[in-house]
Each structure stands twice: as structure tokens, then as C-alpha cells.
Amino acid sequence: MPLAHRYALYLAPTGPWRDLGSRWLGRCADTGAALPPLPGQRDAAPDWTRAPRHYGLHATLKPPFRLRTGTAPEDVDAAARRLVQDGSAFAIELECEPLRGFLAWRVAPQDADGHARIHALAAAAVRGLDELRAPPTADELARRQPHTLPPEQQAMLARWGYPYVFDTFTFHITLTGKLEGAALTQAQAAIAAFADPLRGQAMPVPGVSVYVQPQAGADFIAARHYGFDGTHTDAAGAAWLQGPAAT
């Protein structure tokens, strides 16, 4: 199996959050298959969800990266296994809120413990996999428009290849692309219509997941889920966790 174009360490939502969120986006990250819309879902929803559908339902821990020369997919698998060895399961309360122009499930303000746990997990993921990350190309950096970022985010981009890590990290499960005005209001109401029954239910965080982008421009799919309890479950992209070292 050749190398995947990019690898990422994500949090894969669980339970009804996974089921409803995947239906909302219209694609299952575990299989890559299209999913039927939710009952009563607005005709505009596929346009609202085009960007996050490409990545699959997830929350970013270690952002997508190409493998550094001399590293192999098995190194990503090994790093994910080490990460969960040092963790334990927890849960987070979620609310739908705007973030940088899009809508996402974010940790509820009152959930201080969940906020602390998820930030610690993301920080460990960024550090634990960074030795596998190839430096971003000039084009990849340019797409981040570094001149528009505040100094702290510019520094994170230069050091870690992504502007939103550590002190600039905000946990989020993306539900729409960037929206404005009436579209933002309509999308938020549509999300509330199916997700409000979940309010007050904490979402379990049993582990982390490796997602892969098989080829440039392809949709991301889940490869393997790693439980804090030592279990591992393969998904459609598992074959891309085997292969030659990057050159």
C-alpha cells in the first residue's frame, strides 16, 4: 500500500453525537459512504456542510500532515498507541456555537474539567506526533494567510505547522463551512432542531483516532480508533497505516 497523502490525529465523536453529526454532514468517516439526510433537513444543508464533509466528522487534535522523510505509516500507529497509554476516558459537554465564521460543537463553558482534559490531550497529540511531520511547503503556509494572523498564531504556524495549537487551540467539531448573515442563522436553527435533545448529555471520549487522506484532494477517512482501555478498531483507511517510509 502506498503512503497516504496526509495523516491526522482526531477525536472521533461517539454515540448519538457521531450518528446525528455524520447524518448532518452526509458522510460516514468510518466507511467513506454517503449518508441520507436527517428528516426535515433543509435543501441548503449540503452547501453549508461541503467543507467539513471533506474531512469527516471529527475534532482536530494533531492537524493533517505529510510524513517526514524516513518515517513510515507504522510510526503514526505507534505514536497513537503511545498516546492512549498515558490517558484515560472522560466526557465533555457540548454546545453549538459560532467559531471563526463557521458553526461547531464546542465544550460548554461550564465544563471546566472537560475543557482542561481535552486541551491536555490535544497538547500531548501535537507534541507526540510532531517528529513525524514533514515541514509545510511554501504553498501550504501561504494558504494559511500568515499575514492575517496575530503574532502568537504566526509563531505557532512557524513552529508547529498550524496556527491553532496549545494556547491558541479551541476544541471544536466542525458542522458547517464559513457562513454569514441569514445562512448562519438558518444553519444554527437547523442544527438545534436535531441536536437540542442532546443538550445536557455529556459525550464520552474513549480514545483518539487516526484519519488519512489517501490522495491529494481526496476525502479523509478514519483509519483506526485507539481506546484508552487498550482496544483498537480498524476503519476503512486502516490499510494506509502500513507501507514504505516517506522519501
CA distance 242 to 226: 16
pTM of the model: 0.96
For 179-203, the pLDDT digits (tens) are 999 999 999 999 999 998 898 899 9
Asked whether the predicted pLDDT for residue 15 surpasses 90, the reply is yes
In a 3-state reduction of DSSP, which class is residue 94? strand
For 74-90, the pLDDT digits (tens) are 999 999 999 999 899 99
User: What's residue 233's pLDDT?
Assistant: 98
- Look at the block and give the residue holding cell 466507511: 31
Distances (CA, A) of 165 to 96, 175, 246: 21, 20, 25
The answer to whether 223 touches 241, Cβ cutoff 8 Å, is yes
